[in-house]
Amino acid sequence: SAYDLSGDEVFLEKARDLADKLLPAWNTPSGIPYNRINLAYGNTNNPRWTRGNSILADSGSEQLEFIALSQRTKDPKYQETAEKVIKELHRTFPKDGLLPIYLNPLTGTKSAGSITFGAMGDSFYEYLLKAWIQGNKTEMVKFYR
């Protein structure tokens, strides 16, 4: 990140400001985020074509940034937010770690659709591995080892 390369605190503050504006997307009963947010107003939604469902890949691809931000700022809320998604998915789908690409953000359950490592699913699994490599070897990441 720009902060890691420069050490300039302004970049860390900008990252925190942006993350704080993104956090309302995770304000759902399940912790599964809405995939779109209006940064000016905090309004959240999912695209119409998903019929209100969140997309798996979009729901887990902030892990690295949120974990790093918590580490840099010493504020655990960003990491906790990212890990809540993993925890909820493991609670709802505990058996094999194969997850549907469409998730209901209100219930955390499967809405419809396929299980795939392709489009709309792949990034979720990629970021689990990257989070493990980053050093976040928590229980949430271990669910999918």
Q: What angle do CA 105, 36, 48 make, to 5 degrees?
A: 75
Contact 72, 52 (CB under 8 A): no
For the chain, give every domain's residue range.
7-140
DSSP label of 100: B
What angle (nearest 5°) sits at the alpha carbon of residue 92, between those of residues 70 and 139? 40
| pTM of this structure | 0.87
Cα 89 to Cα 46, 65, 113, 135, 139: the distances in Å are: 18, 20, 16, 21, 13
Q: Which residues, 6+ apart, have CB-to-CB distance to 106 below 8 Å?
A: 28, 29, 30
- Per-residue pLDDT 10s for the chain (145 aa) are 899 999 999 999 999 999 999 999 999 999 999 999 999 999 999 999 999 999 999 988 898 999 999 999 999 999 999 989 988 888 888 777 788 999 999 998 887 778 877 888 888 888 888 888 887 666 665 666 5
Give me the residue label for tokens 């396929």.
Answer: 114
